[in-house]
Structure 1
Amino acid sequence: MTPTIRLLDPRPAVQQAPLAPPQPEARQQVLPPNDFQRFVLETSGQALPLYGVSFFNQATATYVPQGNVPVSPDYRMGPGDEVQIRGWGSVDIDVRTTVDRDGLIHIPRVGKVNLSGIRSAQAEDVVRAAVGKYYKDFQLSVTLGQLKGITVYVVGQARKPGSYTLGSTSTLVSALFASGGPNQNGSMRRVQVKRGDKVVTELDLYAFLAKGDKAADIRLQDGDTIVIPPAKGFVALSGKVTNAAVFELAREGETLGAMLAVAGGLPVVADPKRAQLDRVDPSKKPARSVDVFALDAKGLSTPLKSGDILTVSELVPEFGNAVTLRGNVAQATRSPWKANMRITDLIPSRAFLMSRASVKRQNDVLLSEDDKRNASSDAFARLAETDQQKSGQKEKPVGDSADTLASRIGNLVDEINMDYAVVERVDTAKVSVKLIPFSLGNALDNPSGPDNLPLQPGDIVTVFSATDVRVPQAKRQVFVRVEGEVHRPGVYQMKPGDGLQQLIAQAGGMTPDAYLFGAAFYREEVRRAQTANLEQLVRRLEAQVETRLSSSAASVSSSDAAAAQIRLQAEARAQRQALERLRSLRPTGRIMLGLSDASNQSDSLPSLRLENLDRLVIPSRPDFVYVLGSVNTESALIWRQGASVQDYLDQSGLTGGADVGESFVLRSDGSVMSNHASGWFSNIRRFKVMPGDVIVLPEKTDHESAWSLFTRSAKDITQIIYQFSLGAAAIKTLRD
């Protein structure tokens, strides 16, 4: 039968008393600045940290002592260490015991075994030899359990001095983590461990923090004392250094190069040609002095003294051998300057002037306006929203409208201002900029000419489009749209100086149904001006309405206050509604051509030079005249040759509130005819009406309707229509 040896040591093992985790208030504790840090703040305005403190702040906040950690093979066993022995084969062994004060363990049927001072890697051999005296043919394993605890003392300029019970495998660095490291005045360069009366090691924490050097980090023994002496002195590194902080001097006279190496060196944006050293010398008066030098070999060998403040300047990012091309070009670029370099070396051909925007428009010719919007950066965000909205809804057809498609013709390439480009040349000696204009077209066409300027390092060449700096109209491309009663409606490229006659000729002439008097000519520049003027008019009318309402409210007597209040509220509401309708109008940019009533020949068109994006619409002759306003029947009446305004008013019938004297005619050519506009002795009722004309008959202003109130506020609605070419649809909007 196999002998069995089992033992659970009745004596309690010496348990490690682990350091408790830092309390929340301890984790939040921040070291106050030392005197030198305050001095740097007062003299330079910079609150520089003490190098290495942040490392201990983080390490202390997260440090939790480990009770069961791997044991290195050279760990020497001693009293308090727990040993677990298992054996099988000719003997069954299961023993857990603890090394006693004499360095012995007791194994039943084997006896005492001395493990004091034995390395952990040799423990198994020592126990196997002891058991082998009594048994043969067995296998054995020896492992360490709970290790003994050791007591160390942290004294001097420590953040938390005192007595610490640590694991027996603890080292100097782990003990410093447990105690929080040096305080704001303690040394990180000369941390000592005393064992008895001897200093067994001295650790430079900077070597550990900067390079990971742990050569002086020894394993601690029970009773060791960690001494943190005061720092010998401090210097500050600021400006463009890798770690701007306050550093401790390892010794007086430590060189600047050695300190920069600890700080991580200089970043690429630092200027090694200029560094400023502020030095404090209490023996002199004044006590401070400054020196400026380069960080070359001589500068890096400068010995430092306690109280020095080194400031490294930032590199000025100027190019010494580059020329820059920007503006309306394929790619804004910076190229190396070469001797005898000229404009054509930077811009070899006109192909270099094809901008990215032009290329994108050429690539987008198959995309509709909806497709372009969907291709924007937030398209994926809108995609989810669109999917939610599609539920139960029919999709709207997508694509280009007639307006959007026509507007995209002719704008594939940005026009280049070939007559003007400019070289910006910086004179560093005078700190000034000189502009050198030149003709880009001449430079490209005649490389040996004077416009092919020689370039210097640092030059910036800017190319402009025809819209950046507006070129003469005669030098711009003109794409004009013609629609309606012409034989070939479309978009045509016109030559500089061409007018309406040439445009109609390009389109094959007018059809027999053309009604030239009613032709509408639109210009984008005019539309923008009309929009700005309309906004200004609305703001002025708003101010007038508010002033009038305030005056009316102030003049109300107490006897009829209730009735007057109701009337004022109704008046204010009506006038504001009318203003909102006016604000919703959109000017068209129409230009009246001033044709005579009977003319229907293109030769009668005015001599008007065409501009890019102009639009001419020639309608067919309408058969109706429209009557709006205070008439019994608002309708379209058949046009009769020679019929007057009065004839159509008689046909429509007047209401009792009609103000015949304020009637006016909005003509199909965009002009307005009224008693005021036609002259002092004219009568608009005798005016001969043309096809497509609109007769407007307002109400008298003593009727408090929205229309009459607006007419009274605006003073002269005919002037508004005349100025902004709003058309019959605008009149209808104002009335409704």
Structure 2
Amino acid sequence: MITGKVRNLGLGLGLVATLACQTAFALETQLVDDTVPAEQPPSGVPVFGQPLFQGGFKDQPFSGFNPDYRITIGDQINLQLWGAYSFSASLPVDPKGNIFVPEVGPVHVAGVKNGTLNDFVLRHVKRVFKNNVQAYANLEASQPVKIFVTGYVNNPGLYNGFSSDSILYYLDSADGIDPKSGSFIDIKILRQGKLMQRVNLYNFLVEGIMPPLQLRSGDVVVVGARKGSVTVDGAVQQAAQMEFIGPYTQLGEILLVSKPDPQANFARITQVVNDVQQANYLPLAEAMTARLYPGAQVELVRDNDVQSILIKVSGELDGPATYVLPYGATLEELLAQLRFRENADQKSIQLYRKSVAIKQRVALDRSLDALQMEVLTRQPNTDLEKTAQKDNALMIQNFIRQARKAEPRGQVVIADNPNAAEMLLEDGDEIVVPLRASTVSIVGEVIFPTSLVFNKKRTLENYIDLAGGFANNANRSELVILHLDGTISRIDDKDFDNRLGDRLRPGDEIMVMPKIQSSELQVTKDVTEILYRIAVGTAAVLSF
């Protein structure tokens, strides 16, 4: 399997298990008579990391400040003393690891971190010059080195650089790793024949992690032979030939690097196992744990024959935020898996559906189109009517522009429905479990839209007064109450000063609608219908 930090990129087999499909199925393994070499990737699929070496590193040697760089023999230290004693010079770190400071003597700086060099030298100076002498020391240049680069690179050789340069600089100087034969995950750093460190470039390519290295003259960078590889193509974010270490790997490990397309749901795997070529077509969740051997070819696909659906859940719940259920699962089957918190309002569960939101949008647009046609085609009889209609048309056109911006929520009302539990869920449904509410909101055409603590003794008139009373443009003849479970109640003005019992509950929104300023009865009726549709569909009151 892929080694190093690439194994912990965040997908992991734990998430693979979460994605497991309850009705996953697999086609029977097919045996193909003709066999092909294990390492024969399809043409056009690049080696992962192949574009890395295109001169971008060798043309930019690293000579900037690196606080973690440790001073070594051959480095040049710029030292300045001032005050009662003055001195300025560039001092080399001698073979014993010292710099010689006049009047102070040798100061052993080899192994000192660049970030602490100044304080380190100043302490030694203060041992001799107790007062009135200050010191400033910084690394002027890291040690020039000559590094051997060999193995499966395009141009092995001895290359000049600095001890602070990364191995990417030296690999690029050797024109990079040979993509046909070299390994991107097995690079060794040798010093006097001993292994100092192994480097896996996948960690750099995926996470930007490069191990800290400080090279010395004579060090050897050895690129190993290419390991077993798997070709991943199709519905992935990066089609590539991926290396791994070991006799086999798993698709879940490979996709940590190659990343599947969010819509991918199946994998077609072709590979040679025990000298027999096999072909499998698996749901992606099941394929994640499939063993892949060197030379395997994997194609991720977006199969329309969906066998599972993804449901999002939020609110007063413990547990996962998404559930993968078999196609055809019901609301009852989902609710049985949910873990409700103590304060969850299970009677007011809300279901939002994309297809319903689309239908609401279409219905709203159709009503707006009809209203626009009604206004534009009405013929005035007199000049006075013509002037009035022009003003009315401008007002209606402005209203239509605002109304087209409304975004329906697509709520499916499931309250008080004995058959709701049997309802089939759709892919992408969102379930919201609200907190058991203790307030009532007053929104729309009131002076101060607000939320108030629910009190069953209060009437609608009380709540409106607490919100500052009706605004000038309020419709005072009827109110809409939007309940937490998505149901609505329309209350006439004769009940404003009466207690409403169960018709007003904690969590409700009292929606004060605007008054329609139009002299045309049909227009008034159409606009009223649209306003109520927007209020219920978006849980917001649109001003008119």
The alignment's TM-score, normalised by the length of structure 1, stands at 0.37
Larger radius of gyration: 1
Structure (1/2) with the larger strand percentage: 2
More helix by share: 1
If asked which structure has higher relative contact order (CA below 8 Å, sep 6+), I would say 2
